[in-house]
Amino acid sequence: MSRYNFKEIEEFSQERWKKAKIYKTPENPEKKFYLLEMFAYPSGDMHIGHTRNYVIGDTVWRYKKMQGYDLLHPFGWDAFGLPAEQAAIKRGESPKKWTYGNIATSRNTLKRLQISYDWDREIITAEPEYYRWNQWLFLKLFEKGLVYRKKSFVNWCDSCKTVLANEQVIGGECWRCGTSVRKKEMEQWFIRITAYAERLLNDIDKLEGWPENVKIMQRNWIGRSEGAEIDFYTEDGYKLPVFTTRPDTLFGVTFISIAPEHPYARGIDKEEVKKYIDNALMMSEIERQSEEREKTGVPTGKFAIHPFTGEKIEIWVADYVLASYGTGIVMGVPAHDQRDFEFAKKYNIPIKVVIMPPDQGLSPDTMEMAYEGHGMMVNSAQFNGLDSELGKKKVIEALEKVGKGRGKVTYRLRDWLISRQRYWGTPIPVVHCEKCGIVPVPEEQLPVLLPPEEEVNFIPTGRSPLEDARDFYHTKCPKCGGPAHRDADTMDTFVDSSWYHLRYFDPHNDKEIFSKEEARKWHPIDLYIGGVEHATGHLIYFRFMTKFLYDLGYLDSDEPALALFNQGMVMDEKGEVMSKSKENVVSPIGLIERVGVDATRIAILFAAPPERDLLWSEKGVKGAERFLSRIYNHFMPYIDKKNPEPDKKDPLYRGIEKTKKIVTEDLEHMRFNTGIAALMEMLNQITAYPSRDSETYVYVIQEFTKILAPFAPHLAEFLYAKFGEKQSIFLEAWPSYHEDAVKEEIVTVVVQVNGKVRARLEIERNTSEEEVIKSALSHENVKRHIDGKEIRKTIYIKNKILNIVAR
Ligand code: ANZ
Ligand code: ZN
């Protein structure tokens, strides 16, 4: 007899799929399903962690396909970005060649793995046919006032020599290289994502199929705060607005503190203040906000006037105040804000109690920490006696009346900094003219092509390399025709990935970003699969851009994805992250050459639930190989019977019907590991079955093959063909199961009360303990014997006896 030969099987099955063109996206979907895995950054060949992601997606695809869905399942490459330039600097390679070489390698791996992508819809963001639409979006945003240029303090990485978006600063460090991020003042482009803050926040409620943790992260990231903006004026008439969530504490203000970046602070002509500011700017925001670090500040010698009392209040510069939040100015209320309390204690600033807690007194002389709770307003003139919650409203009303303040909602979300001083990205479609200033490039002149790499120097200097490319940089103003130069910055690659999911609808359209008609067929994504590390970056940006395109009328709903699935990571046997430097990386190509695609898939899917981290082990691979070759050995000789009639009373028949039910439910909930476990158990029943010539046996192995198909597609397709089926197994309908057969058999459970038999219950096998106790307690005779007593304990022996101890 022949043996399981995965190479032969792979060739055979892949040929069948190719002929049937099963991965082609249907033109006119009736039952659409848009399945998407996050596209890949092409940094060398992919490792087993990526493979896991795509195998999960492919398993869903094959299951949905057999359920009769019309699927869109595309793939693409997030091809711009810094690593390509770094490779260029390190090894003298061309960023373009490096990127496209990596794409070719990874694409080949995906094809070897037979991931069910429709390659006709592949996109590469570094192609002008793609990035011209980044530029088009930029122009549209510009038109709507949603993109602007501003000189401000930005996150700067000294090692990458580029600015970073807030989302790219992780714990105070550069997300790419881990260098501590500092502030640098530069003129940069921003997308006004904050204009969408409210919608981005409210619509989180629509994301029913998203994991709760991602939704919480997004809510916190957007960070809505309700309060007031209150205008303090300096003695010399300069307005200093503060943002506070506690306007009810206004009478407790004993100082004002300003962020070191603030223009007012920087305008103060005092040696001490200047020195303090220089030092503070060297620190990251995270360091500055750290709870442990002692808050520091410096008095400016200037005073502001309290809007109600007219008191003089000293102005300080303090590093715990962030320039990028609220107004960058804080009213200091030491009695009711812990940071202000510590600050006041350190610098001997007076403390004034204005909120009295409900159940205790409070005195500035004895308090050891701020009282941040609510209570009754005191020392607050006309507001005395008010509850602090109501007081908030009353204070705001009073401020509004005199024009010195207003109710205000503030978000933690910052505008999205999108310009980068790097080469390998989308050129910003703007011309700077001496006469006309900033002039957007007219739409019909798009794309603004990235100049050839021979003309630029990648070594980061902090200045944009595109300035080197003379023919690119020097140009004529589109408005006046006079001498002008192009903007030399390129776009953050998160712009590319903020809308790529929409380009797949119509990837080769050269008239429009995509046609509305194609979008209507497929939008939105039904299941999006990718890493949780994108929770507050990409997953916010792509929600924003989808909303923007909805507002432009290109889409008929404004959320990109109905459901999101975060897969876990793949670690080595010891639980360590795989990395080239640790030499513990498992290459998918090596593996599929050694054990085949199906065994690789089974090993990945069986090792852990897909949302959990997975410890990669050779044992798992061996188990998968054994599983598949057992199937082959036990199925192959019995394949040539058609339409077998199973014996419905046979336990083997009942077994396969139950397995179909379990596997269907598991696939429905993406519990691939338990689905495979059910298949393995069923296989044990099959291999122990004596009468191989029976129609029941043939029926069972044929049904088994169908539910094996999403997990081990090659072997399933091969066996299916051997059953004599002409068309692909993936065009076959997903099997239903026979309801009667999956019902559990009835067992008798004896119920004892204090050791004496009081009832016999006829119930389904494997009924839960809770259910058994419930039905025992409702049994008349049992009720009579425990009447008036208290149940102390119940002991249940599954499917047999329930003991009740009652006293
Ligand atoms: C006065 C006050 C009194 C405050 C009090 C709190 C308690 P959230 O909830 O995070 O929005 N704040 C405002 N802008 C700031 C900035 N740029 N950097 C650091 N802190 C800032 O926090 C709002 C509170 O944080 C504001 O309310 C302000 O302090 C402070 F009893 O104002 B509060
Ligand atoms: Zn001009």
Closest atom, ligand 1, to C-alpha of 370? 31
Angstrom distance (rounded) from CA 542 to CA 553: 17
Q: Tokens 């007194």 correspond to what residue?
A: 361
Cβ neighbourhood burial of 137 (10 Å; 0-12, 13-18, 19+): buried
| Number of domains comprising the chain | 3
CB–CB of 611/568 below 8 Å?
yes
Which ligand does the CA of 288 lie closest to? Answer: 1
In 3D space, the residue among 698, 687, 684, 708 whose CA is nearest the CA of residue 653 turns out to be 698
Which ligand does the CA of 254 lie closest to? Answer: 1
Q: What are phi and psi of 791, to 5 degrees?
A: -75, 120
Q: How confident is the model at residue 640 (pLDDT cuts 50, 70, 90)?
A: low
Range of the domain at 784: 744-806
CB–CB of 259/243 below 8 Å?
no
CATH number for the domain including 795? 3.10.20.590
Same domain? 258 vs 392: yes
Task: Locate 33 and state its tokens.
Answer: 């399903």
Q: How confident is the model at residue 284 (pLDDT cuts 50, 70, 90)?
A: low
Q: What are phi and psi of 162, to 5 degrees?
A: -150, 165
Cα 150 to ligand 1 centroid, rounded to whole Å: 25
Q: Convert 332-349 to b/e letters by CB count within 10 Å (16 or more is b).
A: bbbbbbebbbbbbeebeb
Sheet of 564-566: strand order equals 70-72, 32-37, 527-530, 564-566
Which ligand does the CA of 353 lie closest to? Answer: 1
Task: Locate 470 and state its tokens.
Answer: 């003379």
Same domain? 245 vs 324: yes
**DSSP 3-state of 805:** strand
Same domain? 376 vs 423: no
For the ranges 282-296, 385-399, 588-602, 687-701, which has the lowest average pLDDT? 282-296
Give me the pLDDT at residue 545, please.
98
What does DSSP assign to residue 352? -
Cα 225 to ligand 1 centroid, rounded to whole Å: 9
Give me the pLDDT at residue 739, please.
82
Distances (CA, A) of 768 to 83, 245, 536, 765, 778: 55, 51, 41, 9, 16
Give me the pLDDT at residue 524, please.
98
Task: Locate 798 and state its tokens.
Answer: 């599954």
Give me the pLDDT at residue 289, please.
66
Q: How confident is the model at residue 639 (pLDDT cuts 50, 70, 90)?
A: low
Same domain? 245 vs 385: yes
Cα 758 to ligand 2 centroid, rounded to whole Å: 98
Cα 728 to ligand 2 centroid, rounded to whole Å: 62
pLDDT surpassing 80 at residue 458: no
Give me the pLDDT at residue 1, please.
54
The amino acid at residue 185 is E
Which ligand does the CA of 226 lie closest to? Answer: 1
Q: How confident is the model at residue 265 (pLDDT cuts 50, 70, 90)?
A: very high
Angstrom distance (rounded) from CA 483 to CA 486: 10
- Identify whether 167 is part of a domain: yes
Angstrom distance (rounded) from CA 346 to CA 364: 15
pLDDT surpassing 90 at residue 281: no
Cα 145 to ligand 2 centroid, rounded to whole Å: 20
Same domain? 404 vs 256: yes
**From atom 11 of ligand 1, which residue's Cα is the shortest distance away?**
225
Cα 436 to ligand 2 centroid, rounded to whole Å: 4
- Identify whether 37 is part of a domain: no
CB–CB of 95/465 below 8 Å?
no
Q: How confident is the model at residue 340 (pLDDT cuts 50, 70, 90)?
A: very high
What pLDDT, in 10s, does the model give residues 137-156?
999 999 999 999 998 788 88
Instruction: Determine the average pLDDT of the residues in 308-315.
Output: 96
**From atom 32 of ligand 1, which residue's Cα is the shortest distance away?**
244
Same domain? 423 vs 397: no
Same domain? 376 vs 420: no
Give me the pLDDT at residue 758, please.
94
Classify strands 162-164 and 147-157 as parallel, antiparallel or unpaired: antiparallel
Does residue 383 or residue 291 have the better pLDDT?
A: 383
**From atom 10 of ligand 1, which residue's Cα is the shortest distance away?**
225
Classify strands 746-753 and 801-806 as parallel, antiparallel or unpaired: parallel
Q: How confident is the model at residue 286 (pLDDT cuts 50, 70, 90)?
A: low
Q: How confident is the model at residue 525 (pLDDT cuts 50, 70, 90)?
A: very high
For the ranges 61-70, 146-155, 576-585, 798-807, which has the lowest average pLDDT? 576-585
Angle, helix 651-668 to helix 48-66, in steps of 10 degrees: 120
By most ligand atoms within 8 Å of CB, the mutation choice from 229, 244, 409 for ligand 1 is: 244
By most ligand atoms within 8 Å of CB, the mutation choice from 337, 374, 412 for ligand 1 is: 337
Angstrom distance (rounded) from CA 802 to CA 799: 9
Which of 46-50, 496-500, 790-794 has the highest mean predicted lDDT (pLDDT)?
Answer: 496-500
Give the chain's length.
Answer: 807
Task: Locate 501 and state its tokens.
Answer: 């999911």
Same domain? 263 vs 376: yes
- Identify whether 757 is part of a domain: yes
Domain boundary among 360, 393, 411: 411
Closest atom, ligand 1, to C-alpha of 324? 17
Cα 243 to ligand 1 centroid, rounded to whole Å: 7
CATH number for the domain including 369? 3.90.740.10
- Identify whether 128 is part of a domain: no
Same domain? 419 vs 321: no
Closest atom, ligand 1, to C-alpha of 320? 19
**Across the strands, what pairs with 485?**
432, 474
Instruction: Determine the average pLDDT of the residues in 345-360.
Output: 94
Share above pLDDT 90 across residues of the chain, in percent, rounded to a whole number: 79
- Identify whether 212 is part of a domain: no
Give me the pLDDT at residue 210, please.
97
Give me the pLDDT at residue 283, please.
72
Q: How confident is the model at residue 10 (pLDDT cuts 50, 70, 90)?
A: very high
Same domain? 407 vs 420: no
> Cβ of 83: how many Cβ atoms within 10 Å?
17
Cα 329 to ligand 1 centroid, rounded to whole Å: 9
For the ranges 36-40, 115-119, 448-452, 571-575, which has the lowest average pLDDT? 571-575
pLDDT surpassing 70 at residue 502: yes
pLDDT surpassing 60 at residue 609: yes
Q: Residue 618 belongs to what H/E stretch?
A: helix 618-635
Give me the pLDDT at residue 410, please.
94
Which ligand does the CA of 482 lie closest to? Answer: 2
Which ligand does the CA of 431 lie closest to? Answer: 2
Q: How confident is the model at residue 174 (pLDDT cuts 50, 70, 90)?
A: confident
My answer on whether omega of the bond before 644 falls inside 30° of 0, hence cis, is no
Domain boundary among 459, 494, 529: 494
Which ligand does the CA of 373 lie closest to? Answer: 1
What pLDDT, in 10s, does the model give residues 557-594?
999 999 999 999 999 888 888 877 777 888 899 999 99
CB–CB of 125/131 below 8 Å?
yes
CB–CB of 782/759 below 8 Å?
yes
**From atom 20 of ligand 1, which residue's Cα is the shortest distance away?**
321
What does DSSP assign to residue 353? -
**From atom 31 of ligand 1, which residue's Cα is the shortest distance away?**
336
**From atom 1 of ligand 1, which residue's Cα is the shortest distance away?**
244
Instruction: Determine the average pLDDT of the residues in 152-164.
Output: 83
Give me the pLDDT at residue 775, please.
92
For the ranges 123-127, 352-356, 495-499, 636-640, which has the lowest average pLDDT? 636-640
Domain boundary among 465, 494, 523: 494
pLDDT surpassing 80 at residue 741: no
My answer on whether omega of the bond before 610 falls inside 30° of 0, hence cis, is no
What does DSSP assign to residue 360? S
**From atom 33 of ligand 1, which residue's Cα is the shortest distance away?**
244
Angstrom distance (rounded) from CA 186 to CA 604: 47
In 3D space, the residue among 176, 182, 133 whose CA is nearest the CA of residue 158 turns out to be 182
What does DSSP assign to residue 512? S
Same domain? 304 vs 323: yes
- Identify whether 389 is part of a domain: yes
Instruction: Determine the average pLDDT of the residues in 674-678.
Output: 97
Give me the pLDDT at residue 86, please.
80
pLDDT surpassing 90 at residue 350: yes
Q: Convert 491-508 to b/e letters by CB count within 10 Å (16 or more is b).
A: bbbbbbbbbbbbbbbbbe
pLDDT surpassing 80 at residue 719: yes
Instruction: Determine the average pLDDT of the residues in 197-208.
Output: 97
Cα 18 to the center of its chain, rounded Å: 34
Give me the pLDDT at residue 517, please.
97
Same domain? 232 vs 285: yes
Cα 58 to ligand 1 centroid, rounded to whole Å: 48
Distances (CA, A) of 439 to 403, 409, 447: 38, 33, 15
By most ligand atoms within 8 Å of CB, the mutation choice from 251, 325, 414 for ligand 1 is: 325
Sign of CA dihedral 197, 201, 202, 206: positive
Give me the pLDDT at residue 575, please.
85
Which ligand does the CA of 435 lie closest to? Answer: 2
Ligand 1 pocket by C-beta < 6 Å: which residues?
A: 225, 243-246, 249, 321-322, 325-326, 328, 330-331, 333, 336-337
**From atom 12 of ligand 1, which residue's Cα is the shortest distance away?**
330
Give me the pLDDT at residue 583, please.
79
Cα 487 to ligand 2 centroid, rounded to whole Å: 14
The CA-to-CA distance between both ends of the chain, in Å, stands at 68
In 3D space, the residue among 705, 671, 693, 454 whose CA is nearest the CA of residue 598 turns out to be 705
pLDDT surpassing 70 at residue 641: no
Long-range contacts of 210-215 (CB under 8 A, 24+ apart): 210/561, 210/563, 210/564, 211/532, 211/564, 211/565, 211/566, 213/532, 213/535, 214/532, 214/535, 214/539, 214/564, 214/566
Cα 74 to ligand 1 centroid, rounded to whole Å: 46
Mean pLDDT over the full length of the chain: 93
Distances (CA, A) of 410 to 233, 251, 406: 21, 22, 12
**DSSP 3-state of 227:** strand
pLDDT surpassing 70 at residue 198: yes
**From atom 9 of ligand 1, which residue's Cα is the shortest distance away?**
225
**DSSP 3-state of 243:** strand
Instruction: Determine the average pLDDT of the residues in 47-54.
Output: 91
Instruction: Determine the average pLDDT of the residues in 296-321.
Output: 96
Q: Which segments of 479-608 does DSSP mark as H helices, in order? A: 493-496, 500-503, 516-522, 538-551, 588-595, 597-607
What pLDDT, in 10s, does the model give residues 372-398?
999 999 999 999 999 999 999 999 999
By most ligand atoms within 8 Å of CB, the mutation choice from 224, 226, 232, 243 for ligand 1 is: 243
What pLDDT, in 10s, does the model give residues 394-445?
999 999 999 999 999 999 999 999 998 889 999 999 999 999 999 999 999 9
> Cβ of 595: how many Cβ atoms within 10 Å?
18
pLDDT surpassing 90 at residue 158: no
By most ligand atoms within 8 Å of CB, the mutation choice from 245, 313, 409 for ligand 1 is: 245
Sign of CA dihedral 163, 166, 168, 173: positive
Closest atom, ligand 1, to C-alpha of 245? 27
pLDDT surpassing 80 at residue 610: yes
Cβ neighbourhood burial of 315 (10 Å; 0-12, 13-18, 19+): buried
**DSSP 3-state of 346:** helix
In 3D space, the residue among 288, 233, 277, 289 whose CA is nearest the CA of residue 402 turns out to be 233
Cα 330 to ligand 1 centroid, rounded to whole Å: 6
Does residue 769 or residue 283 have the better pLDDT?
A: 769
**DSSP 3-state of 406:** strand
Closest atom, ligand 1, to C-alpha of 259? 17
What pLDDT, in 10s, does the model give residues 84-121?
888 877 888 889 999 999 999 999 999 999 999 999 99
